[in-house]
Chains A and B, each alone.
Chain A
Amino acid sequence: MADSINNLPTVLVVDDVDMNVMILEEILKDNYNIMTASNGVEALDKLHKADVLPKIILLDVFMPEMNGYELLEIMKSDKALKRIPVIFITTSDNESEGLAAGAVDFINKPFNEEIVKLRVKNQLELKNYSDSLEDMVAEKTAEATATLDNTLQALANIIEYRNLESGSHVKRTQFFCKALVEYLLESESEYAAELRGMQPEIITKSMALHDVGKIGIPDKILLKPGKLDPDEYDIMKTHTVVGKNIIEEMMTAVKDKDSIYLRHCRSIAYSHHERFDGKGYPQGLQGYDIPLAARIAALSDVYDALVCARVYKSAMSYDEAIHIIVEGKGTQFDPVLTDAVIQIQDKFQEISRSNQ
């Protein structure tokens, strides 16, 4: 695979003996661009500064400053460099050490023109094949992720169409969630580090499925104008468990129990009605036992429910909604998240107004 302006792949030759470098250059110059370095330190410097990384490295073992083994060890811990195959330039008495250290092949001194050319060519072909496989996997993964995204969004839309009163509830709760997460990250709140490890953009996407379990709630309850009686309310509460089950079935279907997207979806669908004081449902989880994504979802969901009219209630003013949320600090809601909502209440109002 060509990688430079003259359409030739680049080979880096690292050897402290310039005569060895000159011979290898002569052997390879017609088919490759040659970069050279006289020791590991210089090679590393050139690799870090290179616009285009070499496709392969021919590396001497014994060199001053930094020898071949040391350079290879450093390359292994570098995300970009560890993928460059290394062929050791060696003598027959240390071939096995070179291969054990992670070299893909070796070239013996004295050099044999045909063998040098063939070993470089063969390893480049393997490298190109491996690169194309990785590209293919990345492409397929992106396709699978897009399919999952679309499926989950379609599922969220179905819920929303069915639950007519909520209008753009799903979309707004996603925006509230996004605003809240962004504020927590930007203000370096105590949740910032945890959020960064959770792929925060996925939390926002997962919010779309928070009410997916409502698909299992009968219309007469879901669309009932007025207050639900205790039995009806108990049935309504099961939407959290139904939601969890649906997501878990999807995890099984896509054979990916570790998908962070589906894990956030499950946390949110299952636990967005838990309360910080442990009096929520379905599990009665308390405080930090409630997943952070679900605690964020709870505030986003309740805020929207308060400021929107529903079949069973009229809309509340933004100030009244914030007042209710403040009253729930530490009881219904996570106190840190409640404070964050207070800080960005203008943003919440704007989201609400522009997404009716």
Chain B
Amino acid sequence: MAENVITGANGAVYINIDEGLKRVINNGKLFAKLLTKFKTSNAGSLDEVLSFVAAGDYEKAKISIHTLKGIAANLALTELYKQTVETEAQIKAGALDPGTQESVKKCFAETLVLLDEVVAKYGG
């Protein structure tokens, strides 16, 4: 059986619905609620990370990207998780590559759009 996933424009898995549902014991409504919460409460979280980086405050950037990475992992936002892993590694190393920065920004924006589909399906 094909995996229940949502892919992005580049064909990568952006949201692994099966995995997300499993995490909340198949409570679809809760999964939809968590995704909605992510969209409303965390829409600015990547900007926050990048503003810390721009200000040279890598300590705060490290904590913020770590939190975002954890949320992405827990909500099965697969591509965002992968990209935040890379972003965190670069921040920890003390320099964020502009290409990585652009890529994670694009991924984050696309994720916010794509998760509407899951919310519509399970939000009931």
Chain A residues close to B by CB (< 8 Å): 16-20, 22-23, 26-27, 62, 91, 109-113
Pick from B25, B37, B75, B76: contact of A18, CB under 8 Å: B37
Query: In the bound complex, how far is the Cα of B72 from the Cα of A109, in angstroms?
Result: 9
Q: How large is the interface on B (under 10, 10 to 19, 20 to 34, 35 or more residues)?
A: 20 to 34
> Which A residue sits closest to B24, measured CB to CB?
A26
Q: Which of A16, A19, A26 contacts B27 (CB 8 A)?
A: A26
Closest chain B residue to A90, Cβ basis: B70
Q: Which residues of the partner chain A approach B76 to less than 8 Å between Cβ atoms?
A: 110
**Pair A19/B66 contact, Cβ less than 8 Å:** no
26 residue pairs bridging A and B, Cβ less than 8 Å apart: A16-B67, A17-B71, A18-B41, A19-B34, A19-B71, A19-B75, A22-B34, A22-B37, A23-B23, A23-B24, A26-B25, A27-B25, A62-B63, A62-B67, A91-B69, A91-B73, A109-B74, A110-B23, A110-B70, A110-B74, A110-B76, A111-B23, A112-B23, A113-B22, A113-B23, A113-B25
| Bound form: Cα–Cα A18–B67 in Å | 11
B52 CB–A CB distance under 8 Å: no
Nearest to A112 among chain B residues (CB) is B23
Total residue contacts A-B, CB cutoff 8 A: 52
CB distance from A176 to the nearest CB of B (A): 66
Instruction: Please tell me if the beta carbons of B25 and A19 are within 8 angstroms of each other in the complex.
Output: no
Q: Which 6 A-B pairs have the closest CB atoms?
A: A110-B73, A109-B70, A110-B74, A26-B24, A109-B73, A19-B34
A91 close to B70 (CB less than 8 A): yes
Q: Judge whether A19 and B37 touch: CB under 8 Å.
A: yes
**A234–B93 CA distance with the chains assembled, in angstroms:** 85
Chain B contact residues, majority secondary structure: helix
The chain A residue sitting closest to B67, CB to CB, is A17
Q: Which residues of A contact B73 (CB under 8 A)?
A: 91, 109-110
Interface residue? B5 (CB, 8 A): no
Interface residues of B in 38-96 (CB under 8 A from A): 38, 41, 63, 66-67, 69-71, 73-76, 81
When C-beta atoms are compared, the residue in chain B nearest to A15 turns out to be B70
Partner-A contacts on B (CB < 8 A): 19, 22-25, 27, 30, 33-34, 37-38, 41, 63, 66-67, 69-71, 73-76, 81
Instruction: Give the CA-CA distance A291 to B24 in the complex, in Å.
Output: 67
Q: State whether A20 touches B22 (Cβ < 8 A).
A: no
- New A-B pairs, 9, CB < 8 Å, besides A19-B74, A111-B74: A19-B37, A19-B38, A22-B33, A23-B74, A27-B25, A62-B63, A91-B69, A109-B74, A110-B73
CA–CA, A151 and B30, complex, Å: 65
- Residue on B with the closest CB to A109? B70
B74-A91 in contact (CB<8A): no
Residues of A contacting B71 in the complex (Cβ-Cβ under 8 angstroms) = 17, 19-20
A16, A27, A62, A110: which has the most chain B beta carbons within 10 Å? A110
Q: Give the distance to chain B from A72, nearest Cβ to Cβ, in Å.
A: 18
Contacts of B81 in A (CB 8 A): 110
Please, which residues of chain B bring their CB within 8 A of the CB of A23? 23-24, 34, 74
User: CA A62 – CA B65 in complex, angstroms?
Assistant: 11
Residue of B nearest to A16 (CB): B67
Nearest-Cβ distance from residue B78 to partner chain A, whole angstroms: 10
A172 to B66, CA, bound (A): 71
Please determine whether B23 and A91 come into contact, CB atoms closer than 8 angstroms.
no
Chain B hits for A17, CB < 8 A? 67, 70-71
For B27, list chain A residues within 8 Å (CB): 26
Closest approach, in angstroms, between the C-beta of A97 and any C-beta of chain B?
13
B23 touches A20 (CB 8 A): no
- Which residues of the partner chain B approach A22 to less than 8 Å between Cβ atoms? 30, 33-34, 37
B26 CB, nearest partner CB in chain A, Å:
10
CB distance from B121 to the nearest CB of A (A): 19
Chain B CB within 10 Å — which of A16, A17, A18, A62 has the most?
A17
Q: Which residue of A lies closest to B74 (CB)?
A: A110
Q: Which residues of B contact A109 (CB under 8 A)?
A: 70, 73-74
* Minimum C-beta distance from A64 to chain B (A): 9
Q: How far, in Å, is A188 (CB) from chain B's closest CB?
A: 51
Chain B, Cβ-Cβ closest to A30: B25
A112 to B20, CA, bound (A): 10
Docked pose: A23 CA to B81 CA in angstroms: 17
